Amino acid sequence: MTDAPAPPDAAAIASYVRAAAPLAGLALDPERERAVIAAFALVSRIAAPALAYPLPRMTEPPAISAVPPEP
């Protein structure tokens, strides 16, 4: 199994959003920042089962292709 990245806690989310937004070129005023922190907390909460999913360690991502394989 691979190590799953742990979802951050609320304080970490706020810190992360404050740090990441300018790196993405986003200037958030305080009101918008609070709203985005809340939205990111929701993403984090719903994402938790995927972040905790026990992936086989040897799983290699296949070549990127937009076209699904034939059955």
Partner 1 sequence: MIAARIATEVKSRRLSAREAALAALARIEAHDGAVNAFTDITRARALAEADAVDAAIARGDDPGPLAGVPYAVKNLFDLAGLPTRAGSRIERNAPPAAEDAFAVAQFRRAGAVCLGALNMDEYAYGFTTENFHDGAVRNPHDLARIAGGSSGGSGAALAAGLAAITLGTDTNGSIRVPASLCGVFGLKPTFGRLSRRGAFPFVASLDHVGPFARDVASLAAAYDAMAGRDPADEAQARRAPEPIGPNQTPPALPGALPLPGALPLRVGRLGGYFAGEGCARMVADRVAAALGAAEEAEFPDPAAARAAAFLITASEGGSLHLPDLRVRAADFDPNTRDRLLAGALVPAAWVHRAEEVRRDIARRAASLFTRFDILVAPATPAAATPIGQQMITLNGESMPLRPNLGIFTQPVSCLGLPVLAVPVPEADGPLPIGVQLIAAPWREDSLFAAAAFLEASGLCRAPLAAGFAE
**Of 5, 10, 12, 15, which lies in the binding site for partner 1, with binding defined by CB under 8 A?**
5
- Residue 66 CA to chain centroid, in angstroms? 22
Identified binder of partner 1 from the candidate list 1, 42, 58, 63, rule CB under 8 A = 42
Contact criterion met (CB below 8 Å) for 51 and 7: yes
Using an 8 Å Cβ cutoff, are 13 and 44 in contact? Answer: yes
- Helix 30-51 vs helix 10-23: crossing angle, to nearest 10: 110
30 is a contact residue toward partner 1 (CB under 8 A): no
- Residues that bind partner 1 in the complex, under the rule CB under 8 A: 4-5, 16-17, 20-21, 24-28, 32, 35-36, 38-40, 42-43, 46-53, 55-56, 59, 61-62, 66-68, 70-71
